[in-house]
Homo-oligomer: A and B are copies of this chain.
Amino acid sequence: ILGMFRMNFPTSPVPIVMWHGIGDTCCNPLSLGRIKEVIEKEINGVYVHSISIGHGFAKDAESGYFMPPNKQIEIACEQLRSDDNLKNGYHGLGFSQGGQFLRGLAQRCSDPPMKTLVTLGGQHQGVYGLPKCPGDSKKYCDYIRRLLNHAYSNWVQRILAPAGYWHDPLDEPTYKKKSKFLADINNEVFINQEYKQNLVNLEKLVLVKFNNDTTVQPKESSWFGYYKPGSLVIQRLNETSLWIEDRLGLKKMGDRLVLLDTDGDHLQFSEEWFVTNIVRPYFK
């Protein structure tokens, strides 16, 4: 009888937590603010939380660049824990670097639990190169690039967020030893069973790659593909030791790991594509 009683009431929709990319902020009306409205229009009564790191827009934008991923994930975990609306779990939606940050969060912060994680143009195997330098200043770009030449120095790992997922395929030993974020969440050095379990516990892990992505280098990183160690030849997820040894549990997920692609440059998608391919199948 209790079961029937419950069935008579519609369950409230699973909340959604978004994490923005570099150069963006939690609540920009033209970007994540718009995405939030699209989701709310499609899922009646849904609660959407957009992660903001630091106090206010300017700080949030700056943190995307200059706060190490580990620290950002720590802050995000506390932020989600203190939001009562999320206590029964939520779906994650990560944009660009927000994709691997949300995955790190899922692995390190299982309370409240993440149900399904969707990443759009994430860099799950990191990046090697900065083909489109953000901003328009040559001087600034040169500065960032110069810093990334020393990406594995402790001090650069401490001050530049992308250094946390800088992945030099020509020097894998140094990457594994020195990368304080990506090598850790990808179980490169040792297998953290907690990470593996938390990832396998996801209902679905949906990875979207943009076929004409000129920002993520290489774009295959959105699907856990990358350069073959010691070379600049691309290998796909199922050719990597991550998959073969199933160090993260991705193989174990079976068809709950979903690889989607779409034409277009980095994060370029229409509202219709987003509703049809993401919101309806995975968030509703």
Interface residues of A (CB under 8 A from B): 21-35, 37, 52, 54-62, 64-66, 95-96, 134-137, 139-141, 144, 215, 265-268, 270-271
Contact = CB atoms under 8 A, between A and B. Distances in A.
Best-surrounded residue of A25, A32, A96 (most CB of chain B within 10 A):
A25
A201 B266 CA distance: 39
Nearest to A270: B271
B25 A23 contact: yes
Nearest to A50: B136
Nearest to A63: B58
A57 B135 contact: yes
A56 to B, nearest CB: 3
Contact of A30 (B24, B57, B60): B24
Contact of A134 (B57, B144, B265): B57
Contacts of A140: 55-56, 59
Given A30-B30, A30-B31, A37 B268 contact: yes
A30 B268 CA distance: 7
A62 B60 contact: no
Contact of A137 (B31, B56, B135, B137): B56
Given A27-B135, A33-B268, 7 more contacts: A24-B25, A30-B32, A37-B265, A52-B135, A54-B137, A55-B140, A57-B65
Contacts of A59: 135, 140
A23 B32 contact: no
